[in-house]
Amino acid sequence: MKIYIVLLLALLLLPVIQAESFADIQIRVTDNDLSVISYSLQLNIDDEYSSFEFETGRKPSGIIFEGDYSLIEGETYTILFEQEISPENSLVEFTLVNDDLIESQRNKKIFRTTFSLAEYDIKRIEMTLPSKYFLSEEPNTVPQADSLSTDGQRIILNWEFREQDQIPLAVFYEKESDNWLWVIILFAVALLGIAYIKYYFNNKMKLIVEDTLTDNEKAVINEIKKGVIKQKEIARNLEFSKSKMSKVVRKLEEKDLVEREPYFKTNKLKIKKIN
């Protein structure tokens, strides 16, 4: 008999002992400092409704919702979502985009806001950082994250709560150093600088040397540039005597412009500095 009485009391209490409305929040931070915050609200209701109101202290720069909605501005911002809600279908999901929740300090970023949902218990908050960002040194999150994970590119933080409807949240993170990229850039600039200096001085030297050449010496140089390298053949083309040709070649050697290599009964001539 006592067991039946306990069961009867339990059945009578079931309508009274109901789960509170609760919220799950997912935050995704983008590279251009947008905060994409998705809300999943499980309502505890006992009637049917055709709309749902959500109040926020900040004006969202974007609203993502499958149905129709309207934004009402006042001391706070109220979003009226057009959705059929019933005890059997009491889940409301929407996303707000904010562009004023992140402060920048060089490579460092600070995400800072307060979630104040007076009618809901916030059960869980998940936050995904942009790729190539990592948490700063402690304190890196306030309150401290309960767990950290990664998808291989991004850090994911999780907080678990019990019966809290107001949570100040701050996350400090910074970008990975691109020093290696600057090293490559500086190395490339250095190579270009060396190449330019070499080109500049070579051409300057070329002009200086050419100004000191006689007409006969210039004529020999031009023949070598054309691909005529045999001393005997150059002399014939320029109608130089053997002694005159030898004298011109000797002067070019003294100026360190031409070198010669014995080749049968003549020499092969090669330009050393003027290209």
What is the rounded average pLDDT of the residues 56-80? Answer: 92
How much is the pLDDT for 18? 38
Q: What are the backbone angles phi and psi of residue 262, rounded to the nearest 5°?
A: -55, 135
Q: Domain map of the chain by residue range? A: 2-176, 180-271
What pLDDT digit, counting tens, does each position of 8-54 carry?
333 333 333 334 788 999 999 998 999 999 999 999 888 999 998 99
Q: What are the backbone angles phi and psi of residue 216, rounded to the nearest 5°?
A: -65, -40
180-271: CATH topology is Arc Repressor Mutant, subunit A (1.10.10)
At 120, the pLDDT band (50, 70, 90 cuts) reads confident
The answer, yes or no, to whether residue 90 has pLDDT greater than 60, is: yes
How much is the pLDDT for 51? 92
Tell me the C-alpha to C-alpha distance, in Å, between residue 134 and each of 112, 154, 157, 171, 179: 16, 8, 11, 11, 16
Exposed / middle / buried, residue 78 (Cβ in 10 Å: 0-12, 13-18, 19+): middle
| Residue % of the chain over a pLDDT of 70 | 83
What pLDDT digit, counting tens, does each position of 242-271 carry?
888 889 888 888 888 888 888 888 888 888
Q: Which residue has the higher pLDDT, 218 or 155?
A: 155
Q: Which helix (H) or strand (E) holds 218?
A: helix 215-225
The residue type found at 223 is E
User: Distance (Å, rounded) from C-alpha 24 to C-alpha 13?
Assistant: 28
At 202, the pLDDT band (50, 70, 90 cuts) reads low
Nearest to 125 by CA among 108, 113, 137: 113
User: Distance (Å, rounded) from C-alpha 122 to C-alpha 99?
Assistant: 23
Residues 28/111, Cβ–Cβ less than 8 Å: no
What is the rounded average pLDDT of the residues 95-112? Answer: 91
Tokens of 172: 């400090």
How much is the pLDDT for 95? 96
CATH architecture designation of domain 2-176: Sandwich (2.60)
Residues near 253 by Cβ (< 8 Å), separated by ≥ 6? 259, 260
How much is the pLDDT for 10? 35
Check for a shared fold between 2-176 and 180-271.
no
User: Distance (Å, rounded) from C-alpha 171 to C-alpha 140?
Assistant: 6
Indicate the SS3 state at residue 248: helix
How much is the pLDDT for 12? 35
Q: For the chain, how big is the Rg over CA atoms in Å?
A: 42
Residues 45/33, Cβ–Cβ less than 8 Å: no
How much is the pLDDT for 163? 73
What is the rounded average pLDDT of the residues 196-210? Answer: 60
The answer, yes or no, to whether residue 118 has pLDDT greater than 80, is: no
The answer, yes or no, to whether residue 181 has pLDDT greater than 60, is: no
The answer, yes or no, to whether residue 131 has pLDDT greater than 60, is: yes
